[in-house]
Amino acid sequence: MSATDHQHPPIAPPAAPLASPMDADTLDFLRQVFQLVREGDSERLAGLIDKGMPVNFRNEKGDSLIMLASYHGRLDTVRVLLQAGADSNVANDQGQTPLAGVAYKGLFDIAALLLAHGAAVDGNSPDGKTPLMMAAMFNRVDVLRLLIGHGATVEAVDSRGMTARSLAATMGAKDTLAALEALA
């Protein structure tokens, strides 16, 4: 088996300009692009971007390319998208931002990269939960400290009146709770 046997076939943009509603070829192309992002195929994605593919479109759930790359832990893909002008603050249909997703998952390097490219440290979801609250709830101490270092509002309150500290306590997140209590 040669090295080329493992390579993916090239993804070709649709032959015709994008129409509304989208035709089957366009939808197939977009599904392939989203799959590239989930897999972290930064090289192929960069090639499509170089050919003029926009970087801020979303799938049927409202997830942007940057959201999926971030959530799936694809640091190089996130970097490619940000360098091409992807919006680090675009929320999905549930109001979740890429920074909140990586705070939940504890993906420090991606959180730092998003912050370096303008992600709103206190950007919150419709229920008022901030990335700091997500890090606190799921015991992501390194991300919690990163967010605080970037000016996250420690005493922010969600729609239920909960703070990062009270959420950490409720979730039994002992390490983040201790880190937050040390600030008081």
pLDDT of residue 7: 56
Q: Token digits for 74?
A: 């694809």
pLDDT of residue 160: 96
10-87 carries CATH number 2.60.40.1120:
no
pLDDT of residue 22: 65
Which residue(s) pair with 64 in the sheet? 58
104 closest CA partner among 76, 159, 155, 143: 143
Residue in the structure block whose two tokens are 């080329």:
4
Mean pLDDT, the chain cut into blocks of 10 residues (184 residues total): 48 51 79 93 95 90 94 97 96 94 97 97 93 98 98 96 98 98 90
Q: pTM, whole model, 2 decimals?
A: 0.85
CATH of domain 95-184: 1.25.40.20
- Rounded to whole angstroms, what are the CA distances from 3 to 6, 45, 104, 126, 170? 6, 20, 37, 47, 51
For the chain, report the end-to-end CA distance as a whole number of angstroms. Answer: 61
Q: Do domains 10-87 and 95-184 have the same CATH topology?
A: yes
Where are the domains positioned within the chain?
A: 10-87, 95-184
